[in-house]
């Protein structure tokens, strides 16, 4: 979120007594530069993943994993699918044969519909 040229972020923490607290901090210029670089690199990775999917070199799971900033382990845990199965599902040929139940798990993890998962545009 940008506010008056500066990014504000809400931080959650516990104090020394174990009480939960919230604090809004404003990032300085070095933080803002880092955040902007992160989003630039993320955007490039998302576009590369999209091109791989459209070229038939990767499944749509690969694209949405990049778009939602998941790493394979995090996605496997979120979707309730073993890591080795997830890695297989990244191949387009395997993805095309996935059951509706498995597609639903991925769609829920990405917070999208099954049809959106099947068709990257």
State pTM to two decimals: 0.75
HEC string for the chain? CEECCEEEEEEEEECCCCCEEEEEEECCHHHHHHHHHHHHHHHHHHHHHHHHHHCCCCCHHHHHHHHCCCCHHHHHHHHCCCHHHHHHHCCHHHHHCCCHHHHHHHHHHHCCCHHHHHCCC
Q: Is the pLDDT of residue 46 over 90?
A: yes
Q: Provide mean pLDDT across the span 66-79.
A: 95
Domains of the chain: 2-118 (1.10.260.40)
**Of the segments 10-19, 35-44, 69-78, which one has the largest average pLDDT value?**
69-78
């Amino acid at each position: 979120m940008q506010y008056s040229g500066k990014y504000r972020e809400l931080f959650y923490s516990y104090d020394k007594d174990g009480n939960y607290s919230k604090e809004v901090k404003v990032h300085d210029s070095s933080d803002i530069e880092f955040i902007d670089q992160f989003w630039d690199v993320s955007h490039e990775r998302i576009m590369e993943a999209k091109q791989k999917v459209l070229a038939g070199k990767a499944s749509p799971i690969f694209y949405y994993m990049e778009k939602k900033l998941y790493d394979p382990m995090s996605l496997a845990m979120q979707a309730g699918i073993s890591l080795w199965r997830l890695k297989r599902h990244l191949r387009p040929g395997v993805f095309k044969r996935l059951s509706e139940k498995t597609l639903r798990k991925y769609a829920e993890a990405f917070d999208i519909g099954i049809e959106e998962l099947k068709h990257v545009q």
